[in-house]
Amino acid sequence: MRTRRTLLALSAGTLCLAGCGAPGGGSDSGLAIETSDATAAPGETAWIEVQASSVGVMTWQLAEIPENWQVTHEGFEPEPTAVRESYPPELVWDPVAGSVTGTLAVAVPDGASPGEYVLAVEAGIDSTDERVISEATVTVAR
């Protein structure tokens, strides 16, 4: 699992650097994303708060989260104009939303092992290759 996380981190760094064009390494688009960490016991739901700006598309990848765990989106403001049922799932805002907030709900199965699991959340502007990633840690505690 560490290999996937390392690869994801390297990909994120490459994507962030590829999208940087302003002096000092900043981006002219204002694209940004932040996620919160969450804790849940087996059989409960972990709630990850998401805040993004200048976003046209948002996806999440299981990274270290087991594939059988259910991840859903709830309460996004503004609501996405479309949801693409793909892997990874995509929330789409057209036109690009200046500011987005919402929650990703991670259903932790009854038999989940205690530990830390990473959910990678990626935001982008659909018409460009620029992407930013925030990793949320889900801690499963008994």
For residue 83, the domain's CATH number is: 2.60.40.10
**Residue 11 CB partners (closer than 8 Å, separation 6+):** none
Domain membership flag for residue 9: no
Q: Is residue 3 part of a domain?
A: no
- Looking at residue 81, the DSSP 8-state letter turns out to be S
Close Cβ partners of 70 (under 8 Å, ≥ 6 residues apart): 106, 107
φ, ψ of residue 18 in degrees (nearest 5): -65, -30
Q: Is residue 16 part of a domain?
A: no
List pLDDT tens digits, range 46-91.
999 999 999 999 999 877 888 889 999 999 999 999 999 887 789 9
Both tokens of 141, joined, read 């505690």
- pLDDT, tens digit, 9 for 90 and up, residues 14-55: 334 333 333 323 356 799 999 999 999 999 999 999 999 999
Domain count, the chain: 1
Domain extent for 93: 32-140
pTM of the model: 0.78
> Is residue 98 included in any domain, yes or no?
yes
